[in-house]
Amino acid sequence: MVKDFSLFTSPGMERMPNGDPHAAVACLHNGPRIFYSPCNTRDGRGTWVITRAQDQRKLLQDTGTFSSHRSLFASALGENWPLIPLELDPPAHSVFRSLLNPLLSPKRIMELEPAVRDRAIALISKISASSTSCDVLTDFAFPFAVSIFLRLLGLSDERLETFVGWGRDLLHGDGIRRTAAARTILAFIDELAAMRRKQPADDFMTFVVQAKVDGRALRDEEIHGIGVLLFVAGLDTVATAIGFDLAYLARNPKEQELLRSKPHRIVLAAEELLRAYSTVQMIRVATKDINFEGAPIRKGDFVSCATMIANRDPAEFEHPNTIDLAREDNRHTAFAYGPHRCLGSHLARQEIVIALEEWLSRIPDFRIKDGTAPITYGGHVFGMENLILDWS
């Protein structure tokens, strides 16, 4: 039950031009449904790898046996506090989830829609007015996604590039850069919290510093946990998803033209692209010895539920490695599953759909620029860079 595999270092996971890490992980479905990988975390720890979507759903719902508390961010600082609510287990998880749900509810996200669309239009209009090609991640996807996150925090775009740099160092940098970025981000959250205590505004951080649970104000570690999670989640995943989506459309002009001529199909297409290009791995920690679907998992073992593996499961999806933009009943787990399903999924969906709608309506037929190649890489969060699109 041991397999030499790593989302960080296996073939297809390394940084490479024109790579396809999603196709590389899809090959795991030719092997055992569960296996042990001796080195499948950033720090080289082993994990059990759950390949089947059905098994991942079962595991992610069993919060009593498989804990979310890993202190993923805090461990980079030699500390031990959870990202909230991501790394909390019930019953504490339910308390904080209920507290934060209204901030990212479907109703609240609908209210944000005009501002999100205006931001997309402004960025794309600026690009189209000045050039016939661009690095779409640097010039559009990251500025777009991060500016929406900054709006939630009540901040301007002045430090946008700085924040993007912090996020990349944290998620994709080496140990030294990751630790430095973690310290910088935490100091920023503390600074922002202190400012909002003195100068309240209609934003996420003001809500957090004024919030109460069980009749008390939030502790500093709880404010850290909530603030850092919002910061990290807002910086990378949505922008990367937009990059993978536009790269696919650039390579498939017929699909591009279909969505351009029938924009009402973009919502359905976005779900299929979320399935095909999922980017996040969830890690759980066993709280006791258990035989899980034949795997002798022991207390303290790490267990990986990688969305990019589950969403290529042939037992779950017909022709899983074929991207079908008309696929219906799409039960993908790009936003995880169970109690810890992504709190920001409604906002992420809105951003991706609006990005595709406005890009396709304002940019003519585009392709990857001759002589260039997007670079992809695996890891805890899959990534892409150097996506140069051309419509000359």
Domain ranges across the chain: 16-390
pLDDT at 268 over 80: yes
Q: What is the pLDDT of residue 234?
A: 73
Measured at the CA of 273, the angle between CA 160 and CA 174, to 5 degrees, comes to: 45
Q: What is the pLDDT of residue 209?
A: 93
Q: Mean pLDDT: which of 153-162, 168-177, 342-351 is highest?
A: 342-351
Contact 68, 87 (CB under 8 A): yes
Q: pLDDT confidence of 159, banded at 50, 70, 90?
A: confident
Percentage of the chain lying above the pLDDT 70 cut: 100
What b/e string do you get for 325-339 counting C-beta neighbours within 10 Å, with b at 16 or more? bebeeeebbbbbbbb
Grouping H, G, I as helix, E, B as strand and the rest as coil, residue 20 is coil
**Domain 16-390 falls in which CATH fold?**
Cytochrome p450 (1.10.630)
Grouping H, G, I as helix, E, B as strand and the rest as coil, residue 187 is helix
Token pair recorded at residue 196:
């909002």
| Mean pLDDT, the chain, whole residue set | 92
Q: For the purposes of burial, counting CB atoms within 10 Å of the CB of 62, is it exposed (0-12), middle (13-18) or buried (19 or more)? A: middle
How far is 287 from 299, CA to CA, in rounded Å? 5
The mean-pLDDT minimum among 55-64, 162-171, 321-330 falls in 162-171
The mean-pLDDT minimum among 175-184, 197-206, 265-274, 318-327 falls in 175-184
pLDDT at 146 over 90: no
End-to-end CA separation in angstroms for the chain? 52
pLDDT at 174 over 80: no
Global pTM value: 0.93
Q: What is the pLDDT of residue 70?
A: 82
Contact 139, 167 (CB under 8 A): no
Q: For the purposes of burial, counting CB atoms within 10 Å of the CB of 168, is it exposed (0-12), middle (13-18) or buried (19 or more)? A: middle
Q: What are phi and psi of 305, to 5 degrees?
A: -120, 90
Measured at the CA of 330, the angle between CA 326 and CA 334, to 5 degrees, comes to: 115
pLDDT at 156 over 80: no
